[in-house]
Chains A and B, each alone.
Chain A
Amino acid sequence: TQLLEQSPQFLSIQEGENLTVYCNSSSVFSSLQWYRQEPGEGPVLLVTVVTGGEVKKLKRLTFQFGDARKDSSLHITAAQPGDTGLYLCALMNTGNQFYFGTGTSLTVIP
């Protein structure tokens, strides 16, 4: 059973388009992180959200934590080829263990 479900699994869009990817769980979690992983490299942390309803912005990326703290979304405005990569959400339990979603593989075509 996957603790975190991400959708869509794959996404291919043209440069300049907007997109949203989702991370959902049947459980409530205290905090959630989003990572981006480029081919051949380890994931890099983008953001941590901790408060229900919280919205954080990182340049063209907007992260939202659901009010009930069971879901999160990542919206990218005017996607660029440099945004290409695997986007992973992860939650941390009270023992500082991390559980990752299956990821959304994004390709931005120039």
Chain B
Amino acid sequence: NAGVTQTPKFRILKIGQSMTLQCTQDMNHNYMYWYRQDPGMGLKLIYYSVGAGITDKGEVPNGYNVSRSTTEDFPLRLELAAPSQTSVYFCASSYCPRELCEQFFGPGTRLTVL
């Protein structure tokens, strides 16, 4: 199993450009998450999904959109990139037996907006 994969690994955007960060998991997990991590900080939840067709906002959803058409894929869309969105983005999926969820993280996408 590949686990959680993310593409691209690195990207530089100009202000106002748009892009989609891809995330795929092959573990058949229902729950998927997008986080951003700023330097020296913990992770902030952007959006999450409890299953295909269901998404909801996390702590910091402004400027982002998501979709979940399949169990495997959970892309994150930036429509109008801003310097404040410079960060490292992590996708995760989780397995929740008896409400004890274990999250599995992808390797991250480092995004710079200039």
* B58 and A88 form a contact (CB under 8 A): no
CB-contact partner of A42 in B42, B59, B107, under 8 A: B107
Whole-angstrom CA separation of A103 from B38 in the bound complex: 12
Would A88 and B106 count as touching, CB distance under 8 A?
no
Could you tell me the distance in whole angstroms from the C-beta of B2 to the nearest C-beta in chain A?
13
Contact present for B41 and A45 (CB under 8 Å): no
A43 touches B105 (CB 8 A): yes
- Contact mask A8-52 → B, CB, 8 Å, 1/0? 010000000000000000000001010000001111110010100
Q: Is B74 an interface residue (CB 8 A)?
A: no
Query: Which among A41, A50, A90, A95 is the interface contact of B107 at CB below 8 angstroms?
Result: A41
Chain B residue at smallest Cβ distance from A101 = B42
Task: Please give, as numbers and ranges, the residues of chain B lying within 8 Å of A43 by CB-CB distance.
Answer: 43, 90, 103, 105
Q: Which of B40, B48, B90, B100 has a CB less than 8 Å from the CB of A97? A: B48
Most buried by A among B43, B90, B101, B105: B43
> What does the 1/0 interface line of B78-114 toward A look like (CB < 8 Å)?
0000000000001010101000111101111000000
- Spell out A's residues near B (CB within 8 Å): 4, 6, 9, 31, 33, 40-45, 48, 50, 88, 90, 92, 95-103, 105
Residues in chain B near residue A98, CB distance under 8 A: 33, 43, 45, 101, 103
A103 CB contacts on chain B under 8 angstroms? 40-42
Interface residues on B, range: 20 to 34
Assess A96 versus B31: contact at CB under 8 Å? Given A41-B108, A42-B92, A45-B103.
yes
Q: From residue A56, how far is it (CB to closest CB) to chain B in Å?
A: 13
| A-B contact list, 15 entries, CB within 8 Å | A4-B42, A6-B42, A41-B107, A41-B108, A43-B103, A43-B105, A90-B43, A97-B48, A97-B58, A98-B43, A98-B45, A100-B42, A102-B40, A103-B40, A103-B42
Closest to A41 in B: B107
- Name the B residues within 8 Å of A96 (CB-CB): 31, 48, 50, 94, 96, 101
Q: How far is the CA of A102 from the CA of B40 in the complex (A)?
A: 8
